[in-house]
Amino acid sequence: MYAMREAQLDFTWGRHEATRGRRHYNECLIDATLLPNTSTYDFIIVGGGTAGCPLAATLSQHFKVLVLESGGNNQDYPQTATQDGFPQIVTDASSGVANSPAQSFTSLDGVGNIRGRVLGGGSSVNCGFYSRAQPAFFEAGAAAGIVWDMGLVNASYEWVEKKVVHRPELDSWQTAIGGALLEANVRPFNGFSVEHLEGTKISGTTFGPDGRRHSAAELLGYAKLTNLVVALRATVEKILLDFHPGGLKKPFAKGVMYRDSLERPHYAFLRGQGEVILSAGALGSPHLLLLSGIGPPNLLHPWHIPLAVSHPFVGQFLADNPQAGVAIISPFRLPTYLSKVVGISNSSSFYIEASTKNTPHHPQISAASPSLNHTIAELFEKVAGPVSTGSLWLASADVQDNPVVRFNYFASPVDMGRCIEGMRTMAKVLKSPKLEGFKFPGALGGMEFRYVGPEMVRDEEDDLQLEGLCWQSLSTFWHYHGGCLVGKVVDSKYRVIGVDSLRVVDGSTFAVSPGTNPQATVMMLGRYVGYQLTKEKWMPNRFAAGKKR
């Protein structure tokens, strides 16, 4: 009987998805100002980002779903569409440009960062790199109690990849770096693959052959559009909680309160056995829990937020993978080309990538070469894990204010050890003959790189020099995660512990960053949990209704 019901579910999804190609997901997008003051749905998803879009598309097959996205439509921002726009996204966010698709924040560590504020979330403003998680990611989840269905995991990845993932072409810098990684013994060469494979490989990209980005928003193309409403510029301020008479049972979520761009309040409520699902990201989800009175009492009291559920780990175990590396001036112009090749160490403790970007009017470039050359070529590493963690707490009781964040980079010597090993490998990469064509004539003869910012150390065996370079070049990979960990804040099915009808499905539940880039796994998770929720809630009800008939 179970197998039959599984087959029914798969057949139904296949039929819906096969007949939906004639319509565009834009049909379900609506500005929040046009929504009623109150409405009712089976599922309310907070965040139309990397996890929220695949989750909504999946649940919409059998349920009425509302997605509340605080940003606008990614299609309204030309800079999100191509690789050339990526530097502008980062610059605009850091400069505080109004109506940017990303919002900047600086952690107490002093490192600048950004968060997506647009449909598609981080997948609409990132580098487009696509690669599945390492085995250790699933092992960490299993240790926290998750019983992974790896068949469903792989099927969910494939569902994502059919819609948004492409095989990239390489420019001369990426090609040279790939060869240099092999010469530095980052082996074997694995060719093109979306799998996490030790050695050097060409990974997937969400930029298509025409150069256009395909973000998680396009996964809404799988949706049953008549069941889905995606509200844009809808800022959720609070989860609405209720309590059973007598207080003998756990409190439960009954809906949310959100405001539109005109600051008018709206209320969305659940019906039946519906749920509120937070997919607002590693900052947004714990932030909203705290604003709703779910968290450590000492973090709520200063802002006079009534305690609904004492939850000591909300906002804790927050982590960000350090990025460190060097940048050189290219002696010839290259197109802006984001990461496509990666070197994965044989211990998967660090990942090395490369990119190019064109930066007009950079003083170092203008002084070093003719004015037509404005290309910076970068070589950088991502420290895996990391082991070091920090926390998040409220800056005010206003949801518009970014929370205060500390990541505690390199607090663990394990992370610094990994960074040093990655730097040592990068030093060997830069000595490869494959990169001779990117050097300039030196002042004393010979050829040398022209660095922008910190230079690679002369002696790659000197750990102190390498450690210094790790600190000098420290920045973010934009892969922050944690804050609502499985086993701490949510259970193995992503339900908030101590609260009914409330889940968190996004990167805030990750104890480690999945592989070289998390977006593949975040999108997979949205599909994965949506599938499991449909089995849990729709199939039993359908089967019971059939028996009554």
| Residue showing tokens 């409330």 | 502
Q: How far apart are CA 532 and CA 524, in angstroms?
A: 12
Question: In this structure, what token pair is assigned to residue 483?
Answer: 């804050």
SS3 state of residue 457: coil
Question: In this structure, what token pair is assigned to residue 360?
Answer: 């007009």
pTM confidence score? 0.93
pLDDT at 80: 96
Band (pLDDT 50/70/90 cuts) for residue 287 is: very high
pLDDT at 541: 65
257-283 tens-digit pLDDT: 999 999 999 999 999 999 999 999 999
Stretch 368-380: mean pLDDT: 72
- Give the CA count within 13 Å in the CB-facing half-sphere of 494: 24
Stretch 209-219: mean pLDDT: 97
294-328 tens-digit pLDDT: 999 999 999 999 999 999 999 999 999 999 999 99
Stretch 394-415: mean pLDDT: 98
Q: How far apart are CA 477 and CA 339, in angstroms?
A: 12
Band (pLDDT 50/70/90 cuts) for residue 63 is: very high
Residues annotated as catalytic (active site), given as ranges: 479
Element (H, E) at 356: strand 350-358
How much of the chain, in percent, has pLDDT values that exceed 70?
Answer: 91
Stretch 25-29: mean pLDDT: 96
223-239 tens-digit pLDDT: 999 999 999 999 999 99
Q: Is the pLDDT of residue 362 over 80?
A: no
Stretch 179-200: mean pLDDT: 98
514-545 tens-digit pLDDT: 999 999 999 999 999 999 999 998 766 654 44
Band (pLDDT 50/70/90 cuts) for residue 94 is: confident
Question: Which of 145-149, 330-334, 445-449 reaches the highest mean pLDDT?
Answer: 145-149
> At 116, phi and psi to the nearest 5?
-70, 135
pLDDT at 16: 42
Q: Is the pLDDT of residue 474 over 70?
A: yes
Is the Cβ–Cβ distance between 436 and 449 less than 8 Å?
Answer: no
pLDDT at 360: 58
Band (pLDDT 50/70/90 cuts) for residue 52 is: very high
pLDDT at 504: 98
Q: Is the pLDDT of residue 99 over 90?
A: no
Compute the CA torsion angle 187, 342, 167, 518 (nearest 10 deg): 130
pLDDT at 542: 55
